[in-house]
Amino acid sequence: MNTSLNYAYYPGCSSTGTSIEYDMSSRAVCAALDIQLNDVPDWSCCGSTPAHTVDHTLSSALSARNLDQVASMGLDSCITPCPSCLANLKTAKHRMEDAGFRDKVNNLLDKPANTQVGTKSVLQILVEDYGVENIKKKVVKPLTGRAVGAYYGCILNRPAELMQFDDREHPMAMDNIMEALGATVVAFPLKVECCGASFGIPRKDLVMRLSGKLLDTAKGIGAMALVTACPLCQMNLDMRQAQVNNANDSHHDMPIFYFTQLMGLALGLTEKELGIDKLCVSPRTVLDAMASEQSVKERAA
Amino acid sequence: MKVINVNLSYNSDFVTQVEEESGQKLNNCYQCGKCTAGCPYTDEYDIAVSQIMRLTQTGQKDKVLNSKSLWLCASCESCTARCPNKIDVARIMDVLRHMARKEGYIGIHTIKTFWDSFLGSVKNNGRVFEVGLLANYISHTGRFWTDMGLGHKVLPKGKIHFTPSEMQGKKEVTKIFIRFKEESAKCRAREKSREISADSRSPQDEYVPELRLLSRVFKHRNLH
């Protein structure tokens, strides 16, 4: 294991609001594993989905400002917890390799864009740079007692040629981490199906249908909780779960964790520092069951 | 079923523009339908994504840019991930959306307004200010009941802020948007002057699209 892991960290807008617990738990987990995160100074929005639906030059210019901020730190790579930020930052770097496109982006910027800064997800560096085996060695409270499913969402690994991580149809990074933490992982067949993305406000009916399907399937395969790596997926499945139940006449009560939150618990961090209380669907029953199973095992040992 | 005479409505400029802006070869699509089979939104689409591909190949600009599907595509990348010919279909959908927007085709008002409100928030604050974004969206759509029911769930969690996050460089972000608007205006002016010169073409030029279509078909056959 490389003992001096050190990255520029781009939190993304949702980390300051609706996905604050993803940011809290990502930072806490990295600190617990001696992974140093350096905040990108004065970072701005990557433009997310709305920017690339309007124009690719605009989208890349918004990302380029941030890549430039990373370069100003003397670093050539950064990590982000959010798949949408990840996709935009990576796409900008990739497209700006074309000189004609880069010129158009530069027309929108104060100074020419940096084209050297690469981006990875927090999940990717945990798996590839730190290593699942090394994570396993740090577990002090195994996640025993309840079955969890891993839901990746659609853009964490796609398009594959750009993302260069895990599998486009059957990713395993989070499944492997959860298994290393001692959880019983159920194979979630819809792990890369769309949750309804950012249509929650303009076309809520789409989110109700697609997220409803994810929750129905998760329940059907016996998952007691899902873990996600995407703020939008988590928000649709957690914050909107009551809306989904109303719309579909279902009765789900399924906690939706960020994978970093369960990682933190297994590493012995407190619920408070992982923002467990920020979740809308209470995870109390599942967490208590894990804790009691764990104490039974400890007593047996 | 409506029959379209592609020779009459084939718009070669449209095909060229989509290919140039997306970097994809439209003729690589052989209509297997795998993109449509995996599209989570296909039940809502007025034209399935594989049909959008076929209509784009055959230069049916007006029909394609009028489609609601362009606005319902969530860029989930399923089509791109599953295309056996490695066509980045999601990128083509993105490019078609750009063209539709530029030419004033607004398929679904609420979705366009949401995206515009999001970007307006970024332009003003440098980062997304969620409450401001929602207020802007509601004021433009009149949908006051949007997510009202979530307030009591989310507010106590301390996730929602009523003032935007402060960043020093927000003027740099605003400038990106201003320059983008200026560049887009220059681009429109250039296109307009091209259209004027195209209008003064000789009558024989009208046959060019068909000839180009034929030459494309032959080129395609020779390749395979």
Q: Which of B21, B153, B169 sits opposite A239 (nearest CB)?
A: B153
Q: Which of the residues A58, A88, A245 would you substitute to probe the B interface, choosing the one with the greatest number of B C-beta atoms within 10 Å? A: A58
Residue numbers of chain A with a pLDDT score lower than 50: none
pLDDT value for B216: 45
Give the Å distances, CA to CA, from B110 to A59, A215, B62, B140: 21, 26, 21, 9
More confident residue, B209 or A260: A260
Which pLDDT belongs to residue A166?
Answer: 97
Task: Give the distance from residue A237's alpha carbon to the nearest chain B alpha carbon, in angstroms.
Answer: 13
A-B contacts (CB, under 8 Å): 164
Contacting residues of B for A192, CB less than 8 Å apart: 78, 81
Query: How far out from the chain centre does Cα A75 lie?
Result: 22
Q: What was the pLDDT predicted at B7? A: 81
pTM of the model: 0.91
Q: How far apart are CA A82 and CA A66, in angstroms?
A: 14
pLDDT value of residue B199: 60
How confident is the model at residue B88, as a pLDDT? 97
Using CA coordinates, name the residue in chain A closest to B129. A13
Contact B122 A243 (CB under 8 A): no
- To the nearest whole Å, the CA of B25 is away from the closest chain A CA by 17
Q: Which residues of B touch A217 (CB under 8 A)?
A: none
How close is the nearest chain B Cα to the Cα of A68, in Å? 12
CB contact under 8 A, B122 and A51: yes
Would you state the pLDDT for residue A212?
A: 98
Q: What is the pLDDT of residues B161-208, one digit of tens each?
A: 888 888 999 999 999 999 999 999 998 898 888 777 766 544 443 333
Percent of chain B residues topping a pLDDT of 90: 61
Handedness of CA A36, A38, A39, A40 (dihedral sign): negative
- Looking at the predicted structure, is the pLDDT value of residue B77 above 50? yes
Q: What element of type H or E holds A95? A: helix A83-95
pLDDT, tens digit, for every residue of B117-154?
Answer: 999 999 999 999 888 898 899 989 988 777 878 888 88
ipTM score of complex: 0.93
Does the N-terminal peptide bond of residue B203 adopt cis geometry, omega within 30 degrees of 0?
A: no
Cβ–Cβ of B75/A65 closer than 8 Å? no
| Closest to B147 in 3D by CA, of B157, B159, B158, B137 | B137
Instruction: Give the separation between CA A17 and CA A107, rounded to whole angstroms.
Output: 32
Q: How far is B122 from chain A (nearest CA, A)?
A: 7
